[in-house]
């Protein structure tokens, strides 16, 4: 629905009709005369202001309705897994809401679904103290340990049997969500249990978390943020294609995603949450079962695989029942949490320093499978490191088929004694990355062959070296094709120069055809050279050239990261770029200047210093510069990223503001696309009234210009 902009004339007619109906004849005639004579400026403005208020009311009602509907669909989709409208219908609702909020910035609200991903990247996280510490759990690995736990509790409680509540122990990251009068106000990590990090903006991006509860309650809910296995695999696949380091397991992926300083990154990570408990609250709840039902009623996601168990033997049954079925779940669990159901009894039992006495985690052993090592091959990475990889007879383990397992380096092969043809036990480290646990030497037939690391690089034939203090052997040939192809792939990856269409296959092709020998050569490619290549049709050849061209304008930190300087990851690249601002300054920097930057240690400094003194680097940079690749970091990248939420709106300030000077306030408006005028006119949209606003306020009232206070102004700025 579109809120119509009523013309002043139409609105005037409406008002006149209203007055006619209500019989205010004198005023009616007066208006008629004024309007006919064209002298009714002030009244007209009053009429306009009336119309504006009416439009705002209408928009406010529609906005409220859209927000309710969108949150309902979010809940159905993300929590109940039972959507009732299509994605495009949902998108249409979102678009309408975004548009209305853009037209009426004064109607923005913290709990709007449009405001899940908001705010600029943070410089760091603030710390928060947990009112009630977030404790860990004691572990048990066998039935006997569970019986011991139960005996201890029955003795302490003086009971012959205890009711337990059993839940899945989802492997993720513990968080706390604070709601005040129904509004999500703060969220934090567990941290050390006493203080955590304020990750509110990141948690807001998780669509399963309601920004407003259906009841105006104040409480702290606690739970686990996690990633589904499939989302984790897709995420790692994407990272692999982009040449980014992989996450070892879903847990690390969830933790890494939640601790992103830029909420937009978190928003892209398919994080999910289950709530399993409460911190501070004053609700009349008697059992843990009731507590979870209540959280569920508040539309918070609670895992439905849960059960009340009468006595420890029933709890054990629950543990066993999930041991084999757990691989069918879409997420990883590493055990079962068994909790005393009676909340008053929980309270009586209390906590030890580390964990509550009333709960225990039963931990499953990691799944292990036998398979055969068919071969051991080596990979050459971007830095020349040569990594041995076991090629396995395919085996299904912990949710997926495994055919390869990294053997890391020759020391690890020797330590485990792995030979080609061996039968080995494998498992997934952190439930994900396949690793060889041990060799079943008793299965040997005598046919097994020892593996030797190659003396020569399998790609270029250059001698490989093991440098002092390193476990890896490296190919040190700077023009080794395998390294070069890997370097191009890394340079083009999303977090680096973000060149779409330049993955491993294309990089390899460009090398094979002799078109690219260094990343700088990319910038000299022409469509006519690419189009005839068998894998690149005309269209994708021109797309590729366009994508390469576009990458020239990226900020310096992407280039630095893309160059693949040893030890310079994304973070170091940003620190260096933000410190030096230009590549020229950075390449001239001495080691001491580099180590003086907080968080840049001697290892990085040394690698950077040396990189810029290599003759090949000189040549490379010269070529890049000639091609017009940007070598500088924009100073106000963050400010430029601010959304233009005040586009087309004119502000006038009057009186003193508390939080800003006039100039600062004006700058904030301009950053968001708005205008600032020095005096009130009919074109003014808002007068921001500070203390003692003076004559401008009277003028604004006279013209029917909307007057807002500093609080409202701050809300509009979405600070
Ligand atoms: S209760 C005071 N319930 O396991 C009791 N924890 O080792 C606090 N976890 O950091 C925990 N699923 O994040 C509880 N259903 C569940 C859980 C669960 C996963 C995590 C939790 C905590 C860790 C304890």
Q: What's the pLDDT tens digit per position in 332-358?
A: 898 999 999 999 999 999 988 789 999
What are the tens digits of pLDDT across the range 16-53?
554 554 445 555 555 555 555 555 566 777 778 888 88
Domain ranges of the chain: 8-115, 139-363, 368-463, 481-551, 556-642, 650-717
What are the tens digits of pLDDT across the range 667-706?
888 878 889 998 999 899 999 988 777 788 888 888 888 8
Residue 456: pLDDT band by 50, 70, 90 thresholds?
very high
What is the architecture, at CATH level 2, of domain 650-717?
A: 3-Layer(aba) Sandwich (3.40)
Neighbour count for residue 602 (Cβ, 10 Å): 11
DSSP states of 637-703: HHHHTS--TTTT-EEEEESB-SSS-HHHHHHHHHHTT-EEESS--TT--EEEE-BS-THHHHHHHHH
- Intrachain domains 481-551 and 556-642 with the same fold: yes
Which CATH number, 1.10.287.610, 1.10.3720.10, 3.40.640.10, 3.30.450.20, labels domain 8-115? 1.10.287.610
- Expressed in angstroms and rounded, the spacing between residue 136 Cα and the centre of ligand 1 is 7
| Ligand 1 and 356: CB distance under 6 A | yes
Higher pLDDT, 422 or 642: 422
- Expressed in angstroms and rounded, the spacing between residue 708 Cα and the centre of ligand 1 is 47
Known catalytic residue: 169? yes
| Ligand 1 and 251: CB distance under 6 A | no
Residue 6's pLDDT is 47
Neighbour count for residue 234 (Cβ, 10 Å): 13
Mean per-residue pLDDT, 623-642: 78
| Ligand 1 and 361: CB distance under 6 A | yes
Q: Choosing from 44, 52, 169, 649, which is the catalytic residue?
A: 169
Which helix H or strand E contains 651, and what residues bound it? strand 650-654
Domain 139-363 in CATH: superfamily? Answer: DNA ligase/mRNA capping enzyme (3.30.470.30)
Residue 625's pLDDT is 96
Which atom of ligand 1 is least distant from the CA of 303?
A: 15
In the CATH scheme, what is the code of domain 368-463? 2.40.50.140
Mean pLDDT lowest among 117-121, 180-184, 522-526: 117-121
CA nearest neighbour of 211 among 173, 189, 176, 179: 179
Residue 31's pLDDT is 58
Task: Please state whether beta strands 368-380 and 163-170 pair in parallel, antiparallel, or not at all (unpaired).
Answer: unpaired
Residue 352's pLDDT is 84
Hey, what CATH class is 556-642 in? mainly alpha
pTM score: 0.56
Mean per-residue pLDDT, 270-279: 96
DSSP states of 498-524: --TT--HHHHHHHHHTTS-SSGGGGGG
- With a CB cutoff of 8 Å and minimum separation 6, the contacts of 624 are 519, 520, 523, 559, 631
What are the tens digits of pLDDT across the range 242-255?
766 777 678 888 98
- Expressed in angstroms and rounded, the spacing between residue 709 Cα and the centre of ligand 1 is 45
Residue 2's pLDDT is 44
Mean per-residue pLDDT, 75-103: 91
Question: In a mutational test of the pocket of ligand 1, which residue from 174, 190, 318, 334 has the highest number of ligand atoms less than 8 Å from its CB?
Answer: 174
Residue 241: pLDDT band by 50, 70, 90 thresholds?
confident
Hey, what CATH class is 481-551 in? mainly alpha
What are the tens digits of pLDDT across the range 558-612?
999 999 999 999 889 988 998 999 999 999 999 999 999 988 999 999 999 999 9
Q: Whose CA is nearest to atom 9 of ligand 1?
A: 169
Helix (H, G, I), strand (E, B) or coil at 623: helix
Question: In a mutational test of the pocket of ligand 1, which residue from 224, 225, 250 has the highest number of ligand atoms less than 8 Å from its CB?
Answer: 224
């Amino acid at each position: 629905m579109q809120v119509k902009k009523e013309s002043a004339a139409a609105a005037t007619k409406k008002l006149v009709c209203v007055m006619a109906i209500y019989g205010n004849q004198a005023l009616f005639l007066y208006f008629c005369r004024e309007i006919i004579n064209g002298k009714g400026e002030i009244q007209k403005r009053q009429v306009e202001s009336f119309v504006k208020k009416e439009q705002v009311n209408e928009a406010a009602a529609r906005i409220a309705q859209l927000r309710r509907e969108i949150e309902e669909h979010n809940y159905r989709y993300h929590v109940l897994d039972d959507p009732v409208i299509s994605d495009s219908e949902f998108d249409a609702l979102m678009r309408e809401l975004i548009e209305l909020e853009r037209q009426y910035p004064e109607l923005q609200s913290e709990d709007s679904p449009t405001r899940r991903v908001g705010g600029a990247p943070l410089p760091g996280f603030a710390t928060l103290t947990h009112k009630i510490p977030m404790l860990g759990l004691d572990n048990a690995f066998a039935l006997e340990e569970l019986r011991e736990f139960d005996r201890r509790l029955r003795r302490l409680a003086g009971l012959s049997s205890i009711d337990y509540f059993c839940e899945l122990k989802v492997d993720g990251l513990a968080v706390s969500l604070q709601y005040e009068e129904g509004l999500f106000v703060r969220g934090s990590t567990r941290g050390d249990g006493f203080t955590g990090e304020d990750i509110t903006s990141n948690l807001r991006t998780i669509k399963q978390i309601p920004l407003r509860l259906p009841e105006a309650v104040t409480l702290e809910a606690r739970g686990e943020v996690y990633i589904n296995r499939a989302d984790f695999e897709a995420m790692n696949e994407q990272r692999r294609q982009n040449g980014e380091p992989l996450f070892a397991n879903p847990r690390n992926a969830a933790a890494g995603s939640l601790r992103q300083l830029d909420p937009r990154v978190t928003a892209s990570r398919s994080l999910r949450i289950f709530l399993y408990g409460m911190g501070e609250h004053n609700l009349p709840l008697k059992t843990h079962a009731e507590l979870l039902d209540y959280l569920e009623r508040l539309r918070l996601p609670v895992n439905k695989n849960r059960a009340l168990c009468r006595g420890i033997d029933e709890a054990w049954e629950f543990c066993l029942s999930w041991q084999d079925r757990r691989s069918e779940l879409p997420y990883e669990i590493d055990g079962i949490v068994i909790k005393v159901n009676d909340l008053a009894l929980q309270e009586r039992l209390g906590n030890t320093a580390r964990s509550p006495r009333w709960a225990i985690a039963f931990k499953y052993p990691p799944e292990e499978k036998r398979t055969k090592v068919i071969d051991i091959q080596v990979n050459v990475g971007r830095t020349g490191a040569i990594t041995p990889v076991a090629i396995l007879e395919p085996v299904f383990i912990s949710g997926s088929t495994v055919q390869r397992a990294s053997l890391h380096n020759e020391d690890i092969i020797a330590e485990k004694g792995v030979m080609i043809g061996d039968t080995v036990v494998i498992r997934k480290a952190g439930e994900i990355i396949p690793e060889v646990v041990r060799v079943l030497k008793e299965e040997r037939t005598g046919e097994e062959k020892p593996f030797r690391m190659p003396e020569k690089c399998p790609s270029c034939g250059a001698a490989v070296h093991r440098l002092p203090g390193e476990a890896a052997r490296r190919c040190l040939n700077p023009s080794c094709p395998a390294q070069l192809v890997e370097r191009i792939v890394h340079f083009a990856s999303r977090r680096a120069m973000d060149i779409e269409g330049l993955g491993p296959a294309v990089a390899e092709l460009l090398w094979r055809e002799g078109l690219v020998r260094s990343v700088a050569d990319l910038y000299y490619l022409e469509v006519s050279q690419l189009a005839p290549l068998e894998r690149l049709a005309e269209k994708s050849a021109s797309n590729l050239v366009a994508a390469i061209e576009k990458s020239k304008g990226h900020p310096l930190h992407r280039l630095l990261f893309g160059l693949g300087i040893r030890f310079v990851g994304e973070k170091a690249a940003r620190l260096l770029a933000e410190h030096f601002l230009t590549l020229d300054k950075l390449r001239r920097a001495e080691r001491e200047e580099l180590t003086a930057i907080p968080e840049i240690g001697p290892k990085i400094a040394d690698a950077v210093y040396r990189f810029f003194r290599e003759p090949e680097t000189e040549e490379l940079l010269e070529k890049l510069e000639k091609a017009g690749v940007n070598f500088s970091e924009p100073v106000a990248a963050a400010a430029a990223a601010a959304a233009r939420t005040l586009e087309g709106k004119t502000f006038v300030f009057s009186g003193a503001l508390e939080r800003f000077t006039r100039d600062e306030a004006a700058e904030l408006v301009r950053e968001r696309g708005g205008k600032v005028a020095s005096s009130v006119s009919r074109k003014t949209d808002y007068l921001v009234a500070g203390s003692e606003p003076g004559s401008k306020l009277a003028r604004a009232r006279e013209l029917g210009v909307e007057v807002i206070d500093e609080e409202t102004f701050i809300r509009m700025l979405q600070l």
